Structure 1
Amino acid sequence: MSITAINTRNQFRGSIVGINRGEIVSEIEIETAAGIVGAIVTSSSIDSLRLRVGDDALAIFKATEVLVAKLG
């Protein structure tokens, strides 16, 4: 199965470069053109999606809050 359309612009295409697996939750690192994106997902999601280091992936964001800071 592949995604043919999605209604969010907050997404980065990349490659999985690291998986730090835990018993219940795991951390995935995706290398994108913008840098490394990290995500915490359930370990069962890693299994059901059959995610492995080297796989192509899409990091999709749904933000309910955005903070802005002035750089000086």
Structure 2
Amino acid sequence: MAITAINVRNQFKGRVKAIHSGPVVSEVEVETPAGIVSSVITTRSVQDLALGVGSEVVALVKATEVSLAKL
């Protein structure tokens, strides 16, 4: 199955910079032109996607809320 269209507008193409694996969930750091995007996904998904440092990925971000704090 190939994805031919998706409704997520915030897409960041990049490469996996680091994976911090845990027994259940893992944090995947993706280096993009916009900066580092971190994703927490199941460790099983990391394995199923065969992710490793250097893997080319697209980070898809869909949020219902973005909070800001004044510095």
Whether TM exceeds 0.5 here: the answer is: yes
For 2:44, the equivalent position in structure 1 comes to 44
Q: Percent identity?
A: 54
Q: CA RMSD in A?
A: 1.5
Q: Which amino acid aligns with 2:30?
A: I
For 2:29, the equivalent position in structure 1 comes to 29
* Equivalenced residues, count: 71
Q: Which amino acid aligns with 1:19?
A: I
TM-score with structure 1 length normalisation? Answer: 0.87
Unaligned 5+ runs, structure 1 = none
CA distance in 2 between partners of 1:14 and 1:3 (Å): 18
SS at match of 1:23: coil
Unaligned 5+ runs, structure 2 = none
Structure 1 outlier segments of 4+, above 4 Å: none
CA distance in 2 between partners of 1:70 and 1:2 (Å): 42
TM-score with structure 2 length normalisation? Answer: 0.88
Give deviations 1:10-68, integer Å, cap 9, x for gaps.
Answer: 11000001000000000000000000101100000001111111010000011011224
1:1-72 aligned at under 5 Å gives the runs 2-69=2-69
CA distance in 2 between partners of 1:30 and 1:3 (Å): 21
Q: Which amino acid aligns with 2:13?
A: R
